[in-house]
Chain A
Amino acid sequence: MKPVRLFLSALIALWWVAQLGAQAQTGAVAGQVTDSLTQRPLVGVEVSIPGVARKAVTDQDGRFSLAGVPVGPQIVQTALIGYGQQRKAVDVSAGGVATVDFTLRPQAALLEAVVVTGYGTQRREAITGSVSTIEATTARPAVTTNVDQIIQGRAAGVQITTNSGEPGTGVQVLIRGGSSISASNSPLYVVDGVPINNVPTEPDAMGIGGAPPPPRNPLNVIDPSDVASITVLKDAASAAIYGSRAANGVILIETRRGRSAGGPTIEYDGYAATASPARRLDVLNGSEYDQFVRAQVTAGNLDPIHLTKLGGQNTDWERAVTRSAVTHGHNLAFTGGTEDTRYRASMNYLNQEGVAISNGLERIQGRLSATHQDLDGRLRLGLNVTTSRVNNRYITFEQTGGFEGGVFQNVAIFNPTQPITVTDSLGTHFYESGSTSVRNPVALADQLINLGQTTRTLANASADFDLATGLTARVNVGLDHSGGQRQEYYPNASPVGVALGGGLARQADLENSTRTLQTTLAYNRPLGEGNTLDLLGGYEYTKNQSNNVTAQGTGFFTDAFTFNNLNSAQTRETFSSAVEDRIVSFFSRANIGLKDRFFVTGVLRDDGSSKFAEGHKWALFPALSGSWRLSQEAFMANGPFSDLRLRVGWGLTGNPGVPSYRSLLLLQGSTGATYPWGDTPHGGVIPYTCANPDLKWEQSSQIDAAVDFSLLGSRLSGSVEYYNKHTKDLLLDVSVSQPATCSTRLENVGKLENHGLELSLDAVAMSRPGMIWRAGLVFSADRGKVVSLGPNSFITSGGVSGQGQSNQVSERIMPGQPLGTFFGPVFSGWDAQGHQLFKCAASTPGCVNGTTTTPAAADYAIIGNANPDFTLGVHSDVTWGRFDISVLVRASVGQDVFNNTALVYSTKGNALQDKNFLRPALTDPTGIHEPAIYSSRWIESASFVRLQNITVGYDLNLPVLTRTARSARVYVSADNLLLLTGYSGLDPEVHADAGLATRGLDYLSYPRPRTVTGGLRLTF
């Protein structure tokens, strides 16, 4: 019998015992809550008594009353975001009303008193694991399309890199350096208690001239303005409650709920923003290119025929494909209800143009949240429904690969002396050179249609029932359903469409659905004398299903249909597939508090996943952590610390980020299996996976040690943490001993190790009447390395993109080195003929005086490390009268980036094909016939400091002006205002999926915009 089931049975027995003694006499508690600074009543303060289910909320006069309180001494506590918690003792008599008033101080460090943890909440001081919280309302950059952006720079140890400057682009989230090579490094997202299956909701696009841009962020479904709080569970001790899916950390998102206090409220939040590319590719302009070609022809390096390709124009292709993009967003919410029934409904609309033409995103989203309590508060019901529609308009740009290329490649190479459009006997149309290896980038953006749409519904319904004092049963049912489409058309009007066989249309549908059922039983009771016991047991069942259909046609006699009439295509193809997987879990947690000083948390989770091999489907994930509140000890009573805690934790977590069915040998019919006999293709079937009967979880163990402190009357608080993480049984795609029906398969081999230091500080730098200045800092340094790769001596990764770069890789994963290690020839200069020279050993064929023009594999060396030495986030928020000013600065120091863009486009030889190139090539000694060769020459230091956001706001005194609005705020905000870096490329923050666990590759990324926003927030 599973230990968890035992535990649950015990809890149920406990309930029956407790039920017997439940009938006791009660009294009431009432009082008022005021602000210590303004002396005004505080609205919406939650007042509760530990162990008593029913909570009260203060009304417009700051008053509250709580009935049904058991007779005897009780502790009454308050909770309000932005204010410190206060607890007071009262004596409740049978049928009497005990009065207690509170005066709350605006809290110094913006730390919430109650923190959302997995499957429940905890008082901050009782938390024994490593948890970062971000209160959404205080951390909102100007234009956010997904919640990850809120976290950027505000949580120590959480490294967030948006893929590019494309609206709604995906993000790479690395918590404590990531712990996997082949499997996913994304954290688990849990929205309102329901784990989200964070997979793309739109089918992939076709790759033309390179890999298609990655799909946009699935979390775009949630509007950041609907988010109340974000909690990041970083260490294994706190994340282990999510067991098998927690190895990369867990991000808990709580959405905003209704409030009854103060009567119905209507909020409107609207903004408009304008964005433009922050930096530019440094290519030759028309006259520079013209001069270069003429000079080279005169010098005899170029054939005179190239003079005929000079068009006499001066086209700035980058300017032609970019624009000042306008974004506007509107959010309308109303909230209200009674003490028992509350609701919040919101609608929002976002229309974001990309800084590249023909590119953007539109989102319409509605959300409803309702809570209801009955039976004297013993039954609590909750419902959240979010439905959103996201319409994406993509352009073809390349993230990797690329020969003919997409928009940004052609911005770099398209002849700048040629015009965008020409007018001739055919009318006005886009100029095309006729060469097959370049395409007019404006035409590419304008003519190719690539649309993506997602309709997604996230819903959950929960019921909590207090079986007895302190014993609560909960059922939470979640549904996540998305329908995504991709619609593409490559017209005959474009050389792309012609090359694809006379126009190509494609429609793809992807349907994902996840169903989750959670049942938990929690026991939570103060035991007196500062001792607490908090027990949780539960069961969770999750089923993910996905199916997709793609239909495609080529050969259209007209472009008029675009993708809407596939049956008029000359040839048609269809594809479909479906997968599903299930996860079943039993979990339990015990939090024990002793004398308000010692806290211990134990977690045990038993997870089963259908994805693993028979006999390896189940795994146990334990964790144990404890903290000691030194500040509660008598010997610390007179010290400077208002709070001082030591924390230590250990836990095991897992990573199941593998596709379904990988433990089985599967056969599949496909084009690759088809073979003609006679001259008729005979539909075939081939085994296309290898069975791996040993496939199991990737497992991380992590220890965490930390000091949390508050100083100077809580005006300075912070944490210092150290962690050490070992991941074993890595899910690695390794070469299989042949013969086998696959060349590689997933096996559990290899080990990774990460350790690091995190520091976070929050301070009230200044606090005086009319002015508060809060500042915060997060610092993290992570050091990771590969300990073992099983049988592999190394794994190549980081495929180099561009012309003449087939089978060139930039990174090598090898034992003893971190992920993101650049490996290649060491550049040593040029010879007199303009050949690039590389260091070599004397034994290399062609090595003369320690240098060669053709480096051999044996001469490759480690030439860079894509991991930063440390990252830093600093934020400052000043409230001065009715003004508020906030600033967020991020920095990352010590990392290298491979400038793939410079490698393939800093080549004068491009002129041989009438292609433009980057300006630095004008002055380098590289010969015009020299190919682009990957080497240490293209590895650059990419340290940077970025002024991420400045916001200036002003609170209008609307109650005075209009007598209707309760509050109003106007603000102006600027994102990505300043970037300090020595990096020569577009942006030092890069991400490309070019192999396993790649980091630090920069290839023609979508430019990151600089955005200025003006907004208005009104509350009625």
Chain B
Amino acid sequence: MKRLLVNTSIGAALVTFLLLPLQGCTNLDEVPISDITKGNFFHNEAEVLAALAGVYAQLRGTLDDYYNVSEISTDEMVVPTRGQDWYDNGQWLETHRQTWTANSVFSLAFGNGIWNTGYGGIARANVFIEALQNVTVPNKASIVAEARGLRAFYYYILMDAFGGVPIVTTTDIVKNPRNTRREVFDFIESELIAARADLPATRPSSDNGRFTQGAADAILANMYLNAGVFTKDAGISAGAYNSCSGVQVSGGVDACAAAIASADAILNSGVYQLADTFQQNFRADNYSSPENIFAVKFVDQAGLGLNFVMRALHYSQFNPSPWNGFATLAEAYNTFDAADRRRQVILIGQQYNVLTGDSAFDRAGNPLVFTDTIHDITQATEGEGPRVYKWPASPAHVAQDNGNDFAWFRLGEIYLIKAEALNEQSAGSAAALVVLNTLRARDFNPPQPLAVVDRSVILNERLFELIGEGKRRQDLIRFGTYTTRADDPSMAGGKQPSADYYVLLPIPQTQLDANPQLVQNSGY
């Protein structure tokens, strides 16, 4: 009997033990340990500024696919197949020749990258702006204006590449149809005008790189100049100049006049002036250039630097070993005047290690010589093609990370915008000539002022001033030569004229899948 009692008590204890956890341990709430959720952040200024830095950080991404496509699909750059290097599923040839489709590697890699980079920045800004609604911080209006300005820039990139895209300002994941390009243009314009009111004209040097009134004006000036393209879903002229003249923008103003007004707002602000030398805009210390208006900031730190040296240089010219890919075309190089100092950003002839100054050799051991011509873009050699080496290596670089800033907008372009808009208001305008010659003055000794101005002079001047700065696709489309031009036949395998619809990139198939409301650009 005693045994029974013992057994029963042990059993009862076990059963109790068994039942205990059944009531308790069913809680499955997730509390991330080393991550932050929206709910437990944005408490104070430091946290708000940290999130704002995240919105800026996406700017670095604009220098990948968007930059590459803006250059390589034009006469400014080509990435030839060099033996076993750079075939890469044909993506570079496809980009340069404009033979892409919505399903090809171009779209799945580069097109998708542009889409996701632009919208990634927009999503960060949306999360930020929404979270800030219920937060009290000093200078809140100005901080929100910064985020709106950045968001407008990310929309600007999407609108430039794809045309009309869905406008979303909330944080929910939605499947909206595309807005028209005009609607996107108007949205960006109104956002920038609204943000401008709350932004400072200038910032202390410790905040160099943050969005200012000048940044809003520069994007507006560029958009107004391109209004003949940017406001149209259809009717862009692929074969003739698309003028700002006759396009109405905010307040019923003609776009050319608006471009001049925005350019003048910058020129007359007293904040900016041309740098003493052209090179000062690109060197590692270019943060000090008085010409920068809206720049992507870089420092000499792992993951935070500019890596253009890798794209431009041969394997043996830098450490770590660069990629030896991107070259410019002979026809672009040869358009430059030999006396133009701006040509010095292009490497040609015998090459040297940019760090040591020693002679450079190709992988076979021959002296490395960059030729002006590329005989065949499917079978180029290591040394073929001049290189755009505009942002020289930083003396304090950390591996491939160089501290040179990249200005999406600098004063040089504002001069060119003003000149072009003046010329559209009045062809051959003397005022335009004055503006162009003001800019040219620092690049020639003795001076070589232009005597006449017309559209082709302006396009060439833009090439000289802005080569490698990611503007060429936009310019060629505005000038009506982007799709119609062909590469010089001396370079085998180059671009042939492509269909008119290539002025817009196709919406990548992955994005059409993700959002069935999207309708593909016509032609694709």
Contacts and interface: CB of A to CB of B under 8 A. Distances in A.
Nearest to A824: B89
A578 B10 contact: no
Contact of A735 (B120, B127, B514): B514
A52 interface: no
A510 B94 CA distance: 44
11 contacts: A436-B316, A475-B18, A499-B319, A578-B34, A666-B35, A677-B206, A737-B515, A743-B112, A791-B516, A857-B104, A913-B364
Interface of B: 4, 6-8, 10-11, 14-15, 17-19, 21-22, 25-30, 32-38, 41, 47, 49-54, 56-59, 81, 83-91, 93, 97, 99, 101, 103-105, 108-109, 112, 115-116, 119-120, 122-124, 126-127, 166, 168, 173-175, 205-210, 287, 297-299, 301-304, 315-316, 319-321, 363-366, 378-379, 398-399, 403, 496, 509-511, 513-516
Contacts of B399: 499-501
Contacts of B511: 735, 737-738
A910 B123 contact: no
B366 A305 contact: yes
Given A681-B304, A737-B514, A909-B83, 4 more contacts: A498-B319, A679-B287, A793-B513, A912-B83
A375 B26 CA distance: 34
Contact of B364 (A303, A473, A743): A303
B237 to A, nearest CB: 23
A519 B514 contact: no
Interface stretch (A92-100, A629-637, A638-646, A927-935): A927-935
A471 to B, nearest CB: 9
Contacts of A617: 28
A684 B109 contact: no
Nearest to A538: B18
Contacts of B513: 734-735, 791-793
B92 to A, nearest CB: 9
A677 B514 contact: no
Nearest to A680: B206
A687 B11 contact: no
Interface size class of A (residues with CB under 8 A): 35 or more
Interface string A606-625: 00111100000100000000
B99 A437 contact: no
B21 A519 contact: yes
A305 B364 contact: yes
Q: Which of B54, B86, B378, B496 has the most A CB atoms < 10 Å from its CB?
A: B54
A804 B88 contact: yes
A293 to B, nearest CB: 11
Contacts of A305: 364-366
Contacts of A15: 11, 15
Contacts of B36: 666-669, 685
Contacts of B378: 853-854, 931
Contacts of A737: 173-175, 511, 514-515
Interface in A703-746: 734-743
Contacts of A677: 53, 56, 206-210, 297
A539 B511 CA distance: 44
A882 to B, nearest CB: 50
A796 B514 contact: no
Contact of A676 (B8, B297, B515): B297
Contacts of B210: 677
A685 B34 CA distance: 13
Contacts of A845: 97, 99, 496
Contact of A436 (B4, B174, B206, B315): B315
B515 A738 contact: yes
Contacts of A678: 205-209, 287
Contact of A608 (B22, B28, B363, B514): B28
B47 A665 contact: no
A362 interface: no
A5 interface: yes
Contacts of B54: 667, 673, 675, 684-687
Contacts of B301: 681
A573 B26 contact: no
A841 B49 CA distance: 55
Nearest to B379: A929
A297 to B, nearest CB: 11
A499 B321 contact: yes
A807 B108 contact: yes
A580 B36 CA distance: 15
A437 B53 contact: no
A312 interface: no
Nearest to B29: A610
A19 interface: yes
B398 A501 contact: yes
Contacts of A676: 209, 297-299, 304
Interface stretch (A331-339, A394-402, A656-664): A656-664
A789 B298 CA distance: 41
Nearest to B117: A743
Interface string A840-883: 00000100000001111110000000000000000000000000
Contacts of A574: none
Of residues B84, B89, B122, which shows the largest number of chain A Cβ atoms within 10 Å of its Cβ?
B84
Contact of B53 (A12, A666, A675): A675
B14 A475 contact: yes
Contacts of B366: 303, 305
A384 B280 CA distance: 71
A926 B237 CA distance: 44
A684 B30 contact: no
A741 B127 contact: yes
A770 interface: no
B173 A804 contact: no
A23 interface: yes
B81 A685 contact: no
Contacts of A855: 90
A425 interface: no
Contacts of B56: 675, 677, 684
Contact of A685 (B47, B59, B174): B47
A344 B100 CA distance: 68
A306 interface: yes
B364 A932 contact: no
Contacts of B115: 738
Given A791-B513, A804-B85, A669 B50 contact: yes
Nearest to B101: A857
Contacts of A428: none
Given A578-B33, A682-B50, A687 B91 contact: no
Contacts of B7: 375, 378
A22 to B, nearest CB: 8
Interface string A894-920: 000000000010010110111000000
A407 B320 CA distance: 20
A616 to B, nearest CB: 11
Nearest to B90: A854
A608 B27 CA distance: 9
Contacts of A674: 53, 57, 303-304
Nearest to B363: A913
Nearest to A858: B101
B53 A684 contact: yes
Nearest to A433: B363
A805 interface: yes
A964 interface: no
B303 to A, nearest CB: 4
A598 to B, nearest CB: 32
A146 B193 CA distance: 66
B515 A934 contact: no
B32 A666 contact: yes
A305 B368 CA distance: 13
Contacts of A742: 120
B28 A582 contact: yes
A923 interface: no
A367 to B, nearest CB: 28
From A23, A666, A682, residue with most partner B Cβ within 10 Å: A682
Contacts of B10: 375, 379, 465
